[in-house]
């Protein structure tokens, strides 16, 4: 199979999060914030390349918005090219990662960064349809591909 984007630009990975004294203090209630959610998704593997979504600039810290009080997480991701056929799979991997990691109270919205994909509206609609997402995750082949994107063989 030919690659959608054979020579993607590779970006720098961000460093580990600075651990403050308050982070180690168990008496402080830590609210889930943008950086914490970004940390959950930045090491997701690209379906085509041996690179992470962060290294391909598909996900960025600035495109993660968490409202801990309203239980909302909104993420936009940027496909490497406007006709990327993997866009739905990447979005699904982000959804599944957060579904498994975040408390169930969170509503997660995953969308393509506006103007960065030819089928942006169709992909967004599919990712927002929880019934179709649930059906997709019962497909063992697809689930295997998603799990490969989520497997952590780098760190």
Partner 1 sequence: MPRLEEVTTLEGHIEPVWCVSWSPFGSLLATCSGDKTIRIWGKEGEKWICKTVLTDGHTRTVRYVTWSPCGQYLASASFDATVVIWSRKEGEFESIATLEGHENEVKAVTWSSSGSLIATCSRDKSVWIWEVTEDEEFECASVMTSHSQDVKHVIWHPYKEILASCSYDDTIKLYKEDNDDWTCFQTLASHDSTVWKICFDQSGSRLASCSDDKTVKIWQEYLPGNEEGIVTHGSDSVWKCVCTLSGYHERAVYDINWNHVTGHLVTACGDDSIRVFGEDADSNKNEPKFSLMTMINHAHSQDVNSVSWNPKIPNLLASCSDDNLVKLWRYVE
Binding site for partner 1 (CB under 8 A): 104-105, 107, 125, 128-132, 134-135, 138
Residue 75 phi/psi, 5-degree rounding, is -130, 130
Handedness of CA 13, 48, 36, 75 (dihedral sign): positive
**Nearest partner of 95 among 113, 78, 73, judged by Cα:** 73
Taking the complex as a whole, the smallest distance from the CB of residue 108 to partner 1 amounts, in Å, to 11
Q: Is the Cβ–Cβ distance between 44 and 53 less than 8 Å?
A: yes
Residue 94 phi/psi, 5-degree rounding, is -65, -45
Distances from the Cα of 26 to the Cα of 23, 66, 94, angstroms: 8, 22, 29
Nearer to partner 1, 105 or 153 (CB): 105
Nearer to partner 1, 13 or 132 (CB): 132
Taking the complex as a whole, the smallest distance from the CB of residue 65 to partner 1 amounts, in Å, to 16
Taking the complex as a whole, the smallest distance from the CB of residue 2 to partner 1 amounts, in Å, to 28
DSSP annotation of 45: B
Taking the complex as a whole, the smallest distance from the CB of residue 122 to partner 1 amounts, in Å, to 10
For residue 72, the cross-strand partners are 67, 107
Nearer to partner 1, 82 or 114 (CB): 114
Nearer to partner 1, 61 or 132 (CB): 132
Taking the complex as a whole, the smallest distance from the CB of residue 105 to partner 1 amounts, in Å, to 6
Nearer to partner 1, 70 or 153 (CB): 70
């Amino acid at each position: 199979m030919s690659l959608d984007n054979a020579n993607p630009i590779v970006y720098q990975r961000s460093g580990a999060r600075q651990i403050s004294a308050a982070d180690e203090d168990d008496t402080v209630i830590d609210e889930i914030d943008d950086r914490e959610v970004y940390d959950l998704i930045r090491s997701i593997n690209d379906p085509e390349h041996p690179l992470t979504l962060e290294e391909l600039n598909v996900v960025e810290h600035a495109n993660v918005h968490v409202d801990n009080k309203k239980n909302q997480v909104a993420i936009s991701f940027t496909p490497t090219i406007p006709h990327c056929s993997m866009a739905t799979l990447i979005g699904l991997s982000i959804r599944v990662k957060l579904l498994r990691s975040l408390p169930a109270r969170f509503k997660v919205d995953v969308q393509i960064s506006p103007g960065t994909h030819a089928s942006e509206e169709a992909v967004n609609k599919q990712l927002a349809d929880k019934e179709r997402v649930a059906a997709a995750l019962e497909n063992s082949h697809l689930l295997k591909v998603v799990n490969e994107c989520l497997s952590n063989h780098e760190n």
